[in-house]
Amino acid sequence: MSNNHFIFKQFTINQEKSAFKVGTDGVLLGAVADTDGAGKILDIGSGTGLISIMLAQKCNAEITAIEPDYGSFLQTYENVNRSPWHERIKVHHTTFQNLDPNLGRFDMIVTNPPFFSDSLKNPDPRKSAARHNESLSAEDILEGALTFMKEDGNLQLILPYVEGNIFIAEAHKYGFYCNRIIKIKPVPSAEIRRMILKFSRVRKKPSESFLTIEHGKRHEFTEEYINLTKEFYLKF
């Protein structure tokens, strides 16, 4: 892997134009996301296009990827067009707040959203917008889901542990209920760092599971993590 591209088994992600590069969060969400029954998927804040392309590999859905940062939009567009599934992925340069209602409603909305609200901002304004929630708040995501998610659709996203719990509480106000929680640790001795969450309009007790990425030493990956990502990562 060079700094400017990341090679997966069935596609390559170039990333020199994108505000943020390929990371574990995006790979995890793409690998874990439940695409069963999804005919139309919306990817909010596509970045490099990684998640859209991973989902296209996993299922036969028509995918709409939206990205407000122009450089990242170009990156998504280029990576999608080089992928084997380019005919099923459409890329739009827009914010979620300004998305065209004529695109209709989606069976699944997925996002690896900005999540730092109080931390020190990056001096690079593009990276700051990608990492802080002023450009896409929890309320923006939930209000948009009211408009663009089908009645029997679902919303899936990855968040840090604290922000994830806040999002679960906020989602209740909009009539969205958390049905699935995957709690993620980098190593067994660490605290939970991330949560992958799935929401729908159906209230039921959420299924909960845990995922540990490494055994304790760097690059000694757990069998569970390998099994989740082996269809994508070259190293597995």
Q: What is the pLDDT of residue 70?
A: 95
Task: Identify the CATH number of the domain in which residue 199 sits.
Answer: 3.40.50.150
Q: What is the pLDDT of residue 124?
A: 54
Q: How confident is the model at residue 134 (pLDDT cuts 50, 70, 90)?
A: low
Helix axes 50-58, 24-32, angle to 10 degrees: 20
Q: Are 89 and 31 in contact (CB under 8 A)?
A: no
pLDDT in tens, 201-222: 999 999 999 999 999 888 899 9
pLDDT in tens, 140-196: 999 999 999 999 999 999 999 999 999 999 999 999 999 999 999 999 999 999 999
DSSP letters, 63-109, are EEEE-SSHHHHHHHHHHHHHSTTGGGEEEE---STT--GGG--EEEE
Q: What is the pLDDT of residue 125?
A: 54
Q: What is the count of structural domains for the chain? A: 1
With respect to residue 8, please indicate whether it lies within any of the assigned structural domains: no
SS3 13: strand
With respect to residue 1, please indicate whether it lies within any of the assigned structural domains: no
**Percent of the chain having pLDDT more than 90?**
85
> Cα–Cα distance between 25 and 28 in angstroms, integer?
5
With respect to residue 107, please indicate whether it lies within any of the assigned structural domains: yes
| DSSP conformation class of 161 | H
With respect to residue 235, please indicate whether it lies within any of the assigned structural domains: no
Q: Which residue has the higher pLDDT, 46 or 3?
A: 46
Q: What is the pLDDT of residue 3?
A: 75
With respect to residue 12, please indicate whether it lies within any of the assigned structural domains: no
The distance of Cα 193 from the centroid of its chain, to the nearest Å, equals 16
Q: pTM higher than 0.85, yes or no? A: yes
With respect to residue 7, please indicate whether it lies within any of the assigned structural domains: no
H/E element holding 45?
none
Q: Are 142 and 171 in contact (CB under 8 A)?
A: yes
Q: How confident is the model at residue 132 (pLDDT cuts 50, 70, 90)?
A: very low
- Residue 125 φ/ψ, nearest 5 degrees: -60, -30
Range of the domain at 135: 17-229
Q: How confident is the model at residue 233 (pLDDT cuts 50, 70, 90)?
A: very high
Q: What is the pLDDT of residue 218?
A: 83
> Cα–Cα distance between 90 and 63 in angstroms, integer?
6
With respect to residue 11, please indicate whether it lies within any of the assigned structural domains: no
pLDDT(37) > 80: yes
pLDDT in tens, 91-131: 999 999 999 999 999 999 999 998 754 444 445 554 544 44
